[in-house]
Amino acid sequence: MAVNQAKQAVEFSQSFYTSLFEVQDGERFKNCIQCASCSGACPYGYLMTMPPGKMIAYLRADLFEKVLTNDTVWMCISCYACTEICPQNIPVTPGLMTRAKEELLLAGNVPDELQDALMNSQRYGNPLGESPRKRALWTKGIEPEIPILRQAKRPVDVLWFVGDYASYHPRIQITTKAFAEILNTLGIDFGILGPEENSDGDSQRLAGESGLFEMLAEKNGKAFSKYQFNQIVTTDPHAYNAIKNEYPALGISYPVQHYTEFLRERLDDLKPLLKGNGHTRVTYHDPCYLGRVNEIYEEPRELLQAIPGVELVEMAHNRSTSLCCGGGGGGMWLDGFQWEKAHTRTTEWRVRESLSVGADVLAVACPYEAPRFEDATKTIQGASSLAVKDVVELLLEAMEEKAD
Amino acid sequence: MNITALFKLVPDLVEELEIDDSGTALDMEWLRLIINEFDDHAVEEAILLKERSEATVTVIAPDNEGVDDVLYTAAARGADRLIQLMGDFEDGVNNHALARAVAETIKGIQTDLILTGVQAHDDLDGSLGPLLAEYLNMPYIGYVSGVELSDGIAVVKKEYPGGLIGEMEVKLPAVLGIQAAEEPPRYVAVSKVRMAMKTASIEELEIADLDPSGGPEISRMFQPEVGERATMITGDEDEIAARLVEIFKEIGAL
């Protein structure tokens, strides 16, 4: 019996190892030199029983089942810091970490709060558990009316993929409405899917729920195929990443831009509208799925610098070394679990960094971030004067007349 | 050991509930249905018992839109046999009718233990478990949050108000109303559910005419009405504060 179990354990390790080779550049796992840079770069690596480097060592020793008996894999926020720093260019996040989460999920070893978000995504098409019929409720009262494609019945230039938090979260709705206003001001011909839109599914995928990701992607693909448009734009780097890099493998291919790219291309039209509201020190937080994963570093900075009076200052962690807000890879739905393990939050470290460079505003470009960082400003001493604003909100403020 | 878990779908409160034209029932057209939360716990408890004692689990549910997905999910969780009761359930039935239909079905399959949710938010005529036990002439224990099986008996934990728990023994076969499974209902990966859709099969059992007698007759269904004594003060903070001060003066509190 014991011999059989040992044999099964070896087989499991080996089949898991082989499955990593199917991921893009997955063969590079063979090149790991055990330098542990990944474990060191990981924001939560210091408290993982099995940080990524050690996971690979256990995998090679056919002891991978030991990795799956502890739950610190759920501290991984899929921020790509490990993947970015790896000298051998091993796809640690999309390969090892995501596959490990898939195995944990299949084995039923999933923290409860994450289960709820996954179940909500299955049932309602959004992790928040909100009514899918109310997905476009945020548009109420906006003039001119935001066209919902099913009702508009006409082709549009731009399909705006709004996303979950941008649609439902009261804080992010401020960002969403600001973007709508800018689109209207620039005279962009756009529309949204409204209730036909489902979660992009990317964070669910990175939390190990690949089947759910496919289900959600198929629903979005079906909705996309019903309408005529030239391109997709989204304010959500996770949706951007899914549509750009993951949907094509499922036969869903559309040109997509993050709004920072889209607006940067239209900076000539935008710039004359920006009046500025006096001198402001702004620091910019690179979202993982905009920066490290898709290498969009300059567009958001160029937009910020186009605002008169904005002085852009960089934090120690910037561009490819940006420090995750903690929301990625399921982290958005693991706050309680992660707090129990860490008793600290990456957002708190980030807010301290913002203060250390004397910033008045912490600028963000991802719908996960504003509420997470704002929350941290309430617990860090001296941070109450730090404003957290999406780039799009700063642009809109600069377009409006000064209040005083 | 054969365990039967019973579930029904109930209105999902994520959507606003609307009353239909008759004024005596919910408008089913826009209703979204979801597994009754307590029934979900009953299914989970059945699966947990199976994992501990090698039982066979049969899951039974009345036909409703989307019920097959929930049945396949139960299979992915570990249920062995799936039975969908076919009949005129679409407009909703009361628990008297449902209990009679289920009782007839259960008489046809050999079962040692029947688990169902202790309550549901659409139980207008009492909960299902006791009615079912009556029609099957079996003992019933409700508010159960733990079950141990041994030879011909079950030892169950029953919750009482004030945080008390009673441990009691019941002879099988019996009906239990589950308050909470010993572990929260597990999440099953979509890929596993999709696999179950390919490998498991749902037995569709036609039931005789539904007999709702014994249940209440609904004369009127309506949204909670706003009490006349409540006054909503609207406006910004200053306006609300000013109006409050006025009111306090009017009633002599200031």
Reported as a single tens digit per residue, the pLDDT across A249-305 is 999 999 999 999 999 999 999 999 999 788 999 999 999 999 999 999 999 999 999
Q: What is the model's pLDDT at position A1?
A: 46
Residues of chain A by 3-state class (helix, strand, coil), percent to 5 = 55, 10, 35
Which H or E run includes B31? none
Whether residue A227 contacts residue A190, with contact meaning beta carbons closer than 8 Å, is answered with no
The whole-number average pLDDT for the span B178-198 is: 96
Judged by CB atoms closer than 8 Å, whether chains meet at A106 and B191 is answered as yes
Query: The domain that contains B93 carries what CATH number?
Result: 3.40.50.620
pLDDT in tens, A346-388: 999 999 999 999 999 999 999 999 999 999 999 999 999 999 9
Judged by CB atoms closer than 8 Å, whether chains meet at B190 and A209 is answered as yes
CATH code for the structural domain at A114-265: 3.40.50.1860
Q: Which CATH number fits domain A275-399: 3.30.300, 3.40.50, 3.90.1200, 1.20.58?
A: 3.40.50
Q: What is the model's pLDDT at position B71?
A: 98
Reported as half-sphere exposure (CB side, CA atoms, 13 A), residue A99 has a value of: 24
In a domain, B131, yes or no: yes
For this complex, say whether ipTM is above 0.90.
no
CATH code for the structural domain at A2-106: 1.10.1060.10
pLDDT in tens, A4-59: 777 888 999 999 999 999 999 999 999 999 999 999 999 999 999 999 999 999 99
Q: Six-digit token pair at B122?
A: 């659409």
In this complex, the residue of A108, A131, A215 whose CB is nearest that of residue B14 is A131
Q: Which residues contact B113 (CB under 8 A, 6 or more apart)?
A: B1, B2, B3, B4, B49, B147, B149, B154, B172, B173, B174, B176
For residue A277, give Cα distances in angstroms to A213, A307, A389: 43, 9, 15
What phi and psi, each to the nearest 5 degrees, are found at residue B139? -70, 155
d(CA B175, CA A322): 58
The whole-number average pLDDT for the span A227-234 is: 98
DSSP label at A235? S
Q: What is the model's pLDDT at position A402?
A: 56
pLDDT in tens, A123-168: 999 999 999 999 999 999 999 999 999 999 999 999 999 999 999 9
d(CA A338, CA A328): 12
Judged by CB atoms closer than 8 Å, whether chains meet at B14 and A106 is answered as no
Burial of A248: CB neighbours in 10 Å, binned 0-12, 13-18, 19+: exposed
Whether residue A164 contacts residue A196, with contact meaning beta carbons closer than 8 Å, is answered with no
> Please, which pLDDT band fits residue B45 given cuts at 50, 70 and 90?
very high
In this complex, the residue of A106, A115, A215 whose CB is nearest that of residue B192 is A106
> Please, which pLDDT band fits residue A173 given cuts at 50, 70 and 90?
very high
Give the total number of structural domains in chain B: 1
Interchain CB contact of B65 with A (< 8 Å): no
Closest-CA distance, B147 to chain A, in angstroms, reads 22
Least confident stretch, A400-404, B77-81, B187-191: A400-404
Task: Check if A2-106 and A275-399 are the same fold.
Answer: no
The reply to whether omega before A144 is within 30° of 0 (cis) is yes
d(CA A213, CA A194): 19
Q: Where are the domains of chain A?
A: 2-106, 114-265, 275-399
Interior angle at CA A160, CA A155 and CA A162, nearest 5: 145
The whole-number average pLDDT for the span B221-246 is: 88
- Tokens 């056919």 identify what position? A62
In a domain, B236, yes or no: no
In a domain, B115, yes or no: yes
The whole-number average pLDDT for the span A326-341 is: 96
Interchain CB contact of A136 with B (< 8 Å): no
Containing structural domain, residue B182 = 2-206
Minimum Cα–Cα distance from B193: chain A residue:
A211
Least confident stretch, B3-7, B140-144, B242-246: B242-246
Q: What is the model's pLDDT at position B108?
A: 87
Chain B hits for A211, Cβ within 8 Å: 189-194
Chain A hits for B15, Cβ within 8 Å: 131, 133
Judged by CB atoms closer than 8 Å, whether chains meet at A212 and B184 is answered as no
Judged by CB atoms closer than 8 Å, whether chains meet at A131 and B193 is answered as no
DSSP label at A47? G
Q: What is the model's pLDDT at position A98?
A: 97
In a domain, B219, yes or no: no
Q: Which amino acid is residue A55, in one-letter code?
A: M
